[in-house]
């Protein structure tokens, strides 16, 4: 019955289309995105399905956990194991269990994915520092290299402007949520600055489910001259978290344990993450620019597990050094408008881990990555653009392992891959564009996919990089003054997709997989102040050969449908959101024999009040208190099913005030 509500919303759109108020729909094809070509490009010139989430949209939804920003986005799926930002993942175009390795996260173009299987830590990105989020769907390896095989998410940080200001706010709510923040920003002559400090504390939905984090971030820009600008970004993140672990199907149905309970009451972890990025932008006239950026990141993780019969604790240190020079040329060649971008991405990642349990060990892994890329946008006509791109990347892994049993492992692995992209984009009537793109992509194995001291051999030299070939056909069109939308169909074929084989207990390459999908959005201004957004995703993710031929890839739903109604009345903004996620097989159920996670429909309701410098927010998530799990896994050897129960109904209240100095 709940799912029918979204169908009624679709019917309502067409029923009322003729009587809509003739006001411009907020669907801007001239919005500038940087993720499409690594330089500023109008959205209608982008040869890919890209959407923008603005800071205003984050504010209207009361987003306090980054993963919640993507709940309505077509082609994007989310999982939140612990119900807080720490262990949440984002999946673009259906990679399921390995989504953290196939979705690249960037902050102002700097990659933040970890080199192991943990992916990006979304808890270390303060919501109140975000200006906008750009979502690039499809292989983005040409532009950004490793991890971008499914797509890339680029988070653009706020910059100071105008006279100095202070903004203070606090959110509180269910499960002891306490989230205060304070920012200072502005511009003094040539110096722009934005400083933020915040904390996020919650006891969590389940027992032993707490998260306590603190962040300090700064974004500075100094215009030394008209043609020289210096940029510095700094970030400090520290957290302490608890690990409630999964519950089995029997636990949840025999009446002895409920969804809030845990069987791991003593498991905990900590993180400290510090980074600094510095760069200079040089303009040589109006047509040539050079940027030189470098960064350093130092991340410490520790965690403790109590098995009852013994304990395990680990300390891990990750470092990242990067240097990413980029040259941009925007100049006509033979009377043809041309925008060229080329550069190099260098990342060095030395890591060290010390593990103490049944076996005590020290592991050092050093990953080095060199990538060279170019991208050229050629205007064959004023309304017809051709986009060409190419990248080649080389990567090496050095492994050094020693434990108290006397085992010593030293090995080196070298891999190399390239990728290209060809896209055509036709702009019509200034209110729409059609694009056709063919792109290839790659991702290299994560360090803990390559290496395990318990495997034979411990360093799997035979594990190959994953590759994809994909074709996209899409349209963006504001076909009425009060209505616009987009639709993209795509087909991708993947080779050597990396996965954990539950039958052999090792990371392996599938022979082939394929994904075919549709992503569609409709934006409709029904009447003045009343707006409807509808988004639909269909994806068929299948094994294409081998022992699982024809089966569905686990944790990938075929359907996702979301609808949002927003209404502005004087100083109030009311939003009502419904999202349906279809059923999907459990992780490690490549054979598709275990009962699937059922489809689920959730409802959220928010009210935002803004008056001059003051704003207040009231929100309710999971309005009907639906009981479900975002994530489930199967033990293929025992057929036991494990679940991470998702949070029930949640209330949240926040206030914010802007002070002018």
- For residue 301, the 8-state DSSP code is E
Can you read off the two tokens belonging to residue 314? 């680990």
Mean pLDDT across the chain: 92
Judged against a pLDDT cut of 50, whether residue 425 lies above it is answered with: yes
Closest CA to 470 of 490, 498, 497, 442: 490
**Which residues are bridge partners to 216 per DSSP?**
197, 236
Measure Cα distances from 297 to 114, 351, 403 in Å: 11, 12, 28
- What pLDDT score does 27 carry? 55
Closest CA to 152 of 49, 305, 3, 270: 49
The dihedral over CA atoms of 508, 151, 387, 227, expressed in degrees to the nearest 10, equals -120
The dihedral over CA atoms of 112, 114, 118, 122, expressed in degrees to the nearest 10, equals -20
95: Cβ–Cβ under 8 A, 6 or more apart, which residues? 101, 102, 103, 149, 150, 553, 556
Measure Cα distances from 574 to 566, 571, 600, 626 in Å: 5, 10, 24, 22
Using CA of residue 465, residue 147, residue 542, residue 646, what is the dihedral sign?
A: positive
Judged against a pLDDT cut of 70, whether residue 15 lies above it is answered with: no
Query: What are the residue ranges of helices labelled H in 157-315?
Result: 249-253
| Mean pLDDT, residues 570-589 taken together | 96
- What pLDDT score does 36 carry? 87
129-159 pLDDT, tens digit per residue, is 999 999 999 999 999 999 999 999 999 999 9
Residues 644 and 627: beta-carbon distance below 8 Å: no
Model pTM score: 0.94
End-to-end CA distance of the chain: 53
Q: In terms of C-beta distances under 8 Å and separation of at least 24 residues, what long-range contacts does 285-291 make, across chains too?
A: 286/330, 287/329, 287/330, 287/331, 288/327, 288/328, 288/329, 288/330, 288/331, 289/327, 289/328, 290/325, 290/326, 290/327, 290/328, 291/325, 291/326, 291/328
Q: How confident is the model at residue 453 (pLDDT cuts 50, 70, 90)?
A: confident
Residues 347 and 369: beta-carbon distance below 8 Å: yes
- Cβ atoms within 10 Å, residue 457: 11
Q: Residue 14 in 3-state DSSP?
A: helix
185-194 pLDDT, tens digit per residue, is 999 999 999 9
Paired sense of beta strands 268-284 and 512-527, if any:
unpaired
| Mean pLDDT, residues 250-258 taken together | 91
DSSP one-letter string for 485-512: EEEEEEEEEEES-EEEETTTTEEEE-SE
Closest CA to 311 of 278, 351, 380, 264: 264
DSSP one-letter string for 57-75: HHHHHT--SGGGGGTT-TT
Judged against a pLDDT cut of 50, whether residue 576 lies above it is answered with: yes
Cα separation, 390 vs 393, in Å, equals 10
Q: What is the 3-state secondary structure (H, E, C) of 111-123?
A: ECCCCCCCCCCHH
Cα separation, 38 vs 81, in Å, equals 32
Length of the chain: 661
- For residue 18, the 8-state DSSP code is G
Closest CA to 269 of 205, 351, 209: 209
Judged against a pLDDT cut of 90, whether residue 549 lies above it is answered with: yes
- Cβ atoms within 10 Å, residue 547: 12
Give residue limits of the domains in the chain: 2-660
Residues 148 and 637: beta-carbon distance below 8 Å: no
Can you read off the two tokens belonging to residue 455? 């495997």
Cα separation, 319 vs 328, in Å, equals 29
364-399 pLDDT, tens digit per residue, is 999 999 999 999 999 998 899 999 999 999 999 999
- What pLDDT score does 624 carry? 95
58-107 pLDDT, tens digit per residue, is 999 999 989 999 999 999 999 888 777 888 999 999 999 999 999 999 99
- What pLDDT score does 16 carry? 43
Judged against a pLDDT cut of 60, whether residue 597 lies above it is answered with: yes
Judged against a pLDDT cut of 70, whether residue 12 lies above it is answered with: no
585 phi, psi to nearest 5 deg: -75, 155
Judged against a pLDDT cut of 80, whether residue 661 lies above it is answered with: no
DSSP one-letter string for 110-157: EE---SSTT---GGGS-GGGEEEEEEEES--HHHH-TT-SSEEEEEEE
Residues 582 and 571: beta-carbon distance below 8 Å: no
Of 7-16, 76-85, 115-124, 389-398, which has the strongest mean pLDDT? Answer: 389-398
Residues 557 and 582: beta-carbon distance below 8 Å: yes
Judged against a pLDDT cut of 50, whether residue 243 lies above it is answered with: yes
- What pLDDT score does 19 carry? 40
257-314 pLDDT, tens digit per residue, is 999 999 999 999 999 999 999 999 999 988 999 999 999 999 999 999 998 888 999 9
Cα separation, 296 vs 321, in Å, equals 5
Measure Cα distances from 253 to 72, 247, 249, 594, 637 in Å: 31, 10, 6, 17, 21
- What pLDDT score does 307 carry? 87
Judged against a pLDDT cut of 90, whether residue 21 lies above it is answered with: no
- What pLDDT score does 263 carry? 95
CATH fit for domain 2-660, picks 2.40.170.20, 1.10.357.20, 3.40.640.10, 3.40.50.2000: 2.40.170.20
Q: In terms of C-beta distances under 8 Å and separation of at least 24 residues, what long-range contacts does 600-605 make, across chains too?
A: 600/626, 600/628, 601/2, 601/3, 601/5, 601/6, 601/626, 602/578, 602/626, 603/2, 603/576, 603/577, 603/578, 604/61, 604/575, 604/576, 604/577, 604/578, 604/579, 605/574, 605/575, 605/576, 605/577
């Amino acid at each position: 019955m709940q799912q029918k509500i979204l169908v009624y919303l679709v019917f309502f759109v067409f029923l009322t289309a003729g009587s809509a108020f003739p006001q411009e729909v907020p669907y801007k094809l001239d919005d500038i995105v940087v993720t499409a070509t690594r330089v500023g490009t109008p959205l209608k010139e982008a040869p890919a399905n890209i959407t923008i989430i603005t800071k205003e949209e984050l504010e209207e939804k009361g987003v306090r956990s980054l993963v919640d920003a993507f709940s309505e986005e077509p082609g994007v799926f989310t999982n939140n194991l612990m119900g807080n930002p720490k262990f949440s993942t984002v999946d673009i175009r259906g990679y399921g269990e390995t989504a953290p390795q196939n979705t690249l996260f960037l902050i102002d173009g700097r990659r933040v994915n970890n080199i192991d299987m943990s992916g990006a830590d979304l808890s270390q990105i303060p919501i109140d520092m975000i200006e906008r989020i750009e979502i690039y769907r499809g292989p983005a390896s040409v532009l950004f290299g490793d991890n971008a095989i499914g797509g890339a998410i680029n988070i653009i940080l706020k910059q100071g402007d105008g006279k100095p200001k202070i903004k203070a706010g606090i959110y509180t709510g269910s499960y002891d949520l306490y989230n205060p923040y304070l920012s200072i920003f502005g511009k003094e002559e040539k110096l722009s600055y934005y400083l933020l400090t915040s904390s996020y504390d919650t006891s969590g939905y389940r027992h032993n489910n707490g998260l306590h984090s603190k962040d300090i971030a700064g974004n500075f820009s100094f215009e030394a001259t008209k043609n020289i600008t210096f940029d510095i970004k700094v970030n400090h993140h520290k957290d302490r978290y608890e690990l409630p672990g999964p519950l089995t199907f029997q636990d949840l149905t025999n009446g002895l344990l409920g969804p809030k309970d845990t069987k791991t009451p003593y498991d905990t972890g900590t993180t400290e993450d510090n980074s600094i990025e510095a760069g200079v932008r040089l303009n040589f006239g109006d047509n040539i620019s050079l940027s030189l950026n470098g960064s350093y990141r130092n991340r410490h993780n520790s965690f403790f597990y109590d098995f009852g019969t013994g304990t395990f604790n680990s300390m891990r240190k990750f470092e990242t050094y990067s240097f990413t020079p980029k040259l941009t040329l925007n100049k006509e060649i033979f009377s043809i408008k041309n925008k060229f971008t080329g550069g190099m991405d260098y990342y060095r990642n030395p890591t060290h881990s010390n593990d103490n349990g049944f076996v005590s060990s020290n592991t050092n892994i050093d990953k080095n990555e060199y990538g060279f890329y170019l991208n050229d946008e050629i205007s064959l006509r004023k309304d017809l653009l051709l986009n060409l791109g190419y990248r080649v990347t080389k990567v090496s892994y050095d492994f050094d392992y020693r434990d108290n049993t006397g085992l010593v492992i030293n090995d080196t692995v070298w891999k190399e891959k390239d990728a290209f992209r060809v896209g055509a984009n036709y702009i019509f009537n200034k209110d729409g564009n059609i694009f056709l793109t063919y792109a290839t992509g790659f991702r290299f194995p994560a360090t803990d996919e390559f290496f395990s001291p318990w495997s034979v051999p411990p360093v799997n030299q035979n594990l190959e990089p994953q590759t994809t070939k994909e074709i996209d056909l899409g349209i963006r069109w504001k076909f009425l003054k009060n209505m616009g939308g987009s639709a993209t169909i795509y087909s991708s074929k993947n080779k050597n997709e990396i996965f954990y084989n539950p039958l052999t207990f090792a990371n392996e390459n599938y022979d082939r997989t394929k994904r075919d999908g549709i992503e569609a959005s409709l934006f409709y201004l029904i009447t003045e102040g009343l707006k409807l957004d509808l988004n639909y995703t269909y994806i068929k993710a299948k094994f294409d050969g081998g022992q699982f031929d024809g089966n569905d890839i686990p944790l990938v739903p075929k359907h996702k449908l979301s609808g949002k109604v927003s209404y502005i009345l004087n100083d109030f903004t009311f939003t009502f959101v419904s999202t349906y996620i279809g059923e999907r097989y459990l992780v490690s159920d490549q054979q598709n024999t275990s009962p699937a996670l059922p489809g689920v429909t959730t409802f959220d309701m928010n009210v935002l009040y803004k008056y001059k410098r003051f704003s207040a927010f009231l929100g309710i998530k999971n309005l009907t208190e639906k009981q479900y799990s975002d994530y489930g896994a199967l033990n293929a050897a025992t057929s036991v099913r494990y679940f991470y129960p998702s949070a029930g109904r949640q209330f949240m209240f926040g206030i914010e005030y802007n002070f002018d100095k």
